[in-house]
Amino acid sequence: MSPETLVQTPLSVPLQFTTADFDRYVMSTYARFPITLERGEGCRVWDSEGREYLDFVAGIATCTLGHAHPVMVEAVHQQIQTLHHVSNLYYNQPQGELAQWLVEHSCADRVFFCNSGAEANEGAIKLARKYAHTVLGISDPVIITAHASFHGRTLATITATGQPKYQKNFDPLMPGFYYVPYNDIAAIEQAVALLDSSERQVCAILLEALQGEGGVRPGDQAYFQRIREICDEKGILLICDEVQVGMGRTGRYWGYENLGIEPDIFTSAKGLGGGIPIGAMLCKSFCDVFQPGDHASTFGGNPFACGVALAVCRTLEQQNLLENVQARGEQLREGLRSIAANYPHLISDVRGWGLINGLVLNAEIELTSSAVVQSAIEAGVLLVPAGPKVVRFVPPLIVSAEEVDQTLRAVEQALATVS
């Protein structure tokens, strides 16, 4: 059969595949909302019943350019026809060009590519541990992380994650982590002093610039600047998890730019590929201690993923989307504050940066974020919880003022229903 014939052959016969069929074959690792999404365009998606929704989830801060963006469609089309995968035993141009863009638009000097945020954080953990052994001379290195953090679902990254609910029944966890309260300067200073006086020594501090899964909690600038000082004084590494807040999500390319510091290592994924799976671990040259054979990824940095990610990066820059993120983020927060004023018994706070924002529900009431999200679905907007008491808003970075206003009206309608 010729390639031309293959292209014209249907990939599958349409079936009435129900949610019951889905649940029969797919593991129950998600508590799914009862809608089946079939297609998307821009900031909108449609379900199997033909109903339209504004998508303020964006694959959980992943669809940077929304759905079916012409730039991504063209990049996919061009790269899949040219070269989609080769081993990292060879050079490929899209990987090199993407690494160059990332380095030129950040504080990093080197990039390692993988497939996800968890893998990127695994790479950062491994790099920090090798640096500890080979440069710092630490035999029992410890990485400090924060309570309420989220760093991934692999065994090492759920151990790094400071939330027991993600660790339950996965013992024994990986050794080498120590947890502190987020945004608490005294706690971080005490932890470093305590560990330095023991046989376990700190090699790195791993933090999110803004805690996403932990309730959309922005980092405090003074806190991060003091941590940067501690790292410089002690010769230890500062690692920023930028998986959710990087790639323009906060109104700057990287979340750490909101804090007036530079990390030694940081990680990216989610929005980097605009929905195509890709992750990256970036570092400064002084801590680039990996040698051939130390770390690898079969699919990491393949031409297809890198070609699409490069198109996303260039569009973010060329269309000045950071300006839109800042304007629409401020519009969204102002609107949510107005809604909060109308529902003081339900809402206690509105917080966030750029286009990652949280509507914080009153801790004293029984209303949960999942209940609000379900009500918002019925009002025509997709939102996502960030813990039991925070409703998260993470739309595509191309969202318009009209779409923000439409979402605010739907949120008010949803709150009126649940109240």
Helical spans, DSSP H, in 248-354: 303-318, 321-342
**Residue 243 labelled as part of a binding site:** yes
* Distance in angstroms (rounded) separating the CA atoms of residues 134 and 126: 12
**Residue 189 labelled as part of a binding site:** no
**Residue 117 labelled as part of a binding site:** yes
**Residue 150 labelled as part of a binding site:** yes
**Residue 242 labelled as part of a binding site:** yes
Q: What is the dihedral of CA 396, 401, 406, 411, to 10 degrees?
A: 70
- Three-state DSSP at 392 gives strand
**150 is annotated as an active-site residue:** yes
Residue of 113, 224, 270, 304 marked active site: 270
**Residue 153 labelled as part of a binding site:** yes
**Residue 68 labelled as part of a binding site:** no
Cβ-based neighbour number of residue 44 at 10 Å: 18
**270 is annotated as an active-site residue:** yes
Is the bond preceding residue 34 a cis peptide, omega within 30 degrees? no
**Residue 244 labelled as part of a binding site:** yes
Q: Are 390 and 352 in contact (CB under 8 A)?
A: no
**Residue 297 labelled as part of a binding site:** yes
Q: How far is CA 123 from CA 104, 202, 256, 371, in A?
A: 21, 18, 19, 37
Task: Tell me the sheet residues that pair with 358.
Answer: 351, 392
* Distance in angstroms (rounded) separating the CA atoms of residues 340 and 361: 9
- Three-state DSSP at 275 gives coil
**Residue 298 labelled as part of a binding site:** yes
Residue of 55, 56, 241, 304 marked active site: 241
Residue 101 CA neighbour count, 13 Å, CB half: 21
Query: Tokens 């002093």 sit at which residue?
Result: 193
Residue of 150, 290, 304, 393 marked active site: 150
Q: Which residues belong to the active site?
A: 150, 241, 270
Which amino acids are annotated as binding site, given as ranges? 117-118, 150, 153, 241-244, 297-298
Which amino acids are annotated as binding site for N(2)-acetyl-L-ornithine, given as ranges? 153, 297
Which amino acids are annotated as binding site for pyridoxal 5'-phosphate, given as ranges? 117-118, 150, 241-244, 298
